[in-house]
Amino acid sequence: MHVTSTLLAAAAAFSSANAASKGFNYGAFFGNQQAKQYVDFKYEFEAAKELPGTNGQFTSARLYTMIQHGTANTVISAIKAAIDTRTELLLGIWASAGSAVVDNEITALKNAIAQYGPAFTDLVVGISVGSEDLYRITPTAIGNGETNPGAQPAELVNYIRRVRDAIAGTGLAGKPIGHVDTWTAYDNSSNAEVIANLDFIGVDAYPFWEVEHDNSIGHANATFYDALQKTRNAAQGKPVWVTETGWPVSGPNQGNAQANAENAGIYWHDVTCSLLSQGVNLWYYTLQDVQYGQPVPSFGLKPGGDLKAVSPLFDLSCPAGFKPVSYLFPLTLSPALSPILLLLLYSPLLFYLIISSLLPNPRSCPSCNCNRNYRSSETILFPSQQDGNYFRWIARTNRICEDGKCQFKT
C-alpha cells in the first residue's frame, strides 16, 4: 500500500513537470522598432514548438503588453496568433509609463475578451501587471541608464487592483494575477505590500549580471538558485514563476562572465534543464532577438535569419539521464521504505552506488581545456525541491570529452 502511494507520488511529480508552462518572452516590436504583426507572432510561436531537441514542449508565450505597438489601445496581434497556434499565454500589462497607459492596457484586455471569448481566455495561464517596475526606480537601474520611470509600490498595488476589477465577471475571472520583477526587488522588504496583493511572483534572474560575485559560468547555477531561493523566501507563500532567465550568446563580458554561445549552452543545460525537470513555470529569454537589429548583448538562442530555417546556437536537448536528486525523497521518506533511509545514512558507499546508477554513465576523458573557464570536472549546485537545500550535481557525467574537446551528451 505504501509502495503504491510512493509510486503514485512519483508519477504525480513527473506529471507536474510535464504540465508546467514552458515558453519564451516575446516583445511587441523588432529591433528597429517595427511592430510585429499577426504573421510574425504566428511564425515565432510555431518556430518555438519546432525547436530541435525540445520535444515540442515550448508552447507558452509571455507578453509584455496587451497593446499593438504604435497604437493607443488596439489589441496586440499576438492574441490571434496564439489562438490559431494553440499557444498558452502569460499576459502582460505595461506599468512603467503611467496611469493613463495602464488604462489603455486594461481597455485592450477587455476588448480581447469581448472579441475572442473563450478561445482567448482558455489559453491564459496568468496576467502579469508590470515588468521590472520596482527595479527601475532603484539607484542601480538609474545608474545603469534606465529611462523608463518604473512605478512605486503603492502605484503597482493600485494597478493590480484595477486589473482585478476589470476582469471580474469575465472569462478571465479567477486567473492568477502577478507581477514580474528582479529578485532584488522582492528581497527588498519595502515592496512587501506588492507581494501581498499578488497570486504569483514572476522573477527575472540573470547570473550574468551579478558582478558583485564571481559570475563566471561555473558559478551560474549556484547564483541562479540562490536568487530563486531568496525570492521564494520573500514570496509570502505565493508560487514563484521564472519569467526571465538566460545567458547572452554575444556581447561584452561582465565581470568574470563571458558572453558566448558555448557558455549559453552550458547555462541552458545546468539551469534551464534543471528547471524543466522540476516542473517550474519558465519563460526563457529569448528565442531570437537579432531580427532587424543587433542588441548588445544578444540573448537569442537562434541567430538572425529565417527563424525556422536557422539552427539554434547550442544544443537544446536535456540529458536523457538528467534526474534531480530531489526525486529520491518520495522514496526514502515513505514509511514503508524508511529502513532504506536509515541504511543510506549509515552506508555512504551504498548511497553513492544508488546515486551513480541514476546518473548518465560517466566516461573517462583527458583533461578538458575548452577555453571557457569551466572545467569538465567541476561540480555545480542542484537544488532540492523539498527544503531549498543544495546538493552537488556532478556535471562531468553529462559531458563527453574526446581529444581535449568537450560536448554535452545527447
CB 94 within 8 A of CB 65: yes
Least confident of 196-200, 238-242, 381-385: 381-385
Average pLDDT over residues 247-258: 98
**Grid cell 534526474 — which residue?**
323
pLDDT in tens, 47-69: 999 999 999 999 999 999 999 99
CB 183 within 8 A of CB 227: yes
> Torsion-angle region of residue 236: left (phi > 0), alpha (psi -120 to 50) or beta?
left
Inter-axis angle of helices 38-49 and 78-85, nearest 10:
40
User: Using CA atoms, how far apart are residues 358 and 406, in angstroms rounded to an integer?
Assistant: 22
In 3D space, the residue among 95, 166, 89 whose CA is nearest the CA of residue 137 turns out to be 95
In 86-191, which residue ranges form alpha helices assigned H by DSSP?
A: 99-116, 118-121, 133-136, 139-143, 153-167, 183-186
Assign 355 a pLDDT band (cuts: 50, 70, 90). low
In 3D space, the residue among 48, 53, 54, 36 whose CA is nearest the CA of residue 86 turns out to be 48
Structure confidence at residue 350 (pLDDT): 54
Cell numbers given for 402: 574526446
Element (H, E) at 204: strand 200-204
Cα distances (Å, whole numbers) of residue 51 to 11, 23, 193, 312, 350? 26, 11, 40, 8, 40
Cα distances (Å, whole numbers) of residue 40 to 76, 113, 220, 307? 12, 22, 33, 10
Average pLDDT over residues 107-120: 99
Beta bridge partners of 92: 128
Selecting among 44, 88, 155, 244, the annotated active-site residue is: 244
CB 266 within 8 A of CB 227: no
CB 388 within 8 A of CB 232: yes
> Is 88 considered catalytic here?
no
Amino acid at 136: R
Cα distances (Å, whole numbers) of residue 141 to 28, 85, 214? 22, 37, 21
User: Using CA atoms, how far apart are residues 30 and 40, in angstroms rounded to an integer?
Assistant: 10
Averaged confidence pLDDT in the chain:
84
Determine phi and psi for 357, rounding to 5 degrees: -70, -20
pLDDT in tens, 132-181: 999 999 999 999 899 999 999 999 999 999 999 999 999 999 999 999 99
Structure confidence at residue 293 (pLDDT): 87
Give the percent of the chain with pLDDT over 90: 71
pLDDT in tens, 370-386: 444 433 334 334 343 33
> Is 193 considered catalytic here?
no
- Residues 6+ positions from 309 with CB-CB distance below 8 Å: none
Selecting among 105, 132, 210, 262, the annotated active-site residue is: 132
Least confident of 86-100, 318-332, 366-380: 366-380
Neighbours of 166 (CB within 10 A): 19
Cα distances (Å, whole numbers) of residue 334 to 99, 285, 327, 375? 53, 39, 13, 38
Under DSSP, is residue 59 helix (H, G, I), strand (E, B) or coil? Answer: coil
Q: Is the confidence at residue 335, as pLDDT, over 90?
A: no
CB 238 within 8 A of CB 229: no
Structure confidence at residue 353 (pLDDT): 57
Q: List, in order of start, the domains of the chain with CATH numbers.
A: 20-284 (3.20.20.80), 325-408 (no CATH)
Cα distances (Å, whole numbers) of residue 143 to 137, 147, 211, 296? 10, 10, 15, 18
Beta bridge partners of 204: 182, 244
Cell numbers given for 51: 525547436
User: Using CA atoms, how far apart are residues 294 and 177, in angstroms rounded to an integer?
Assistant: 33
Residue bearing the bigger pLDDT, 144 or 298? 298
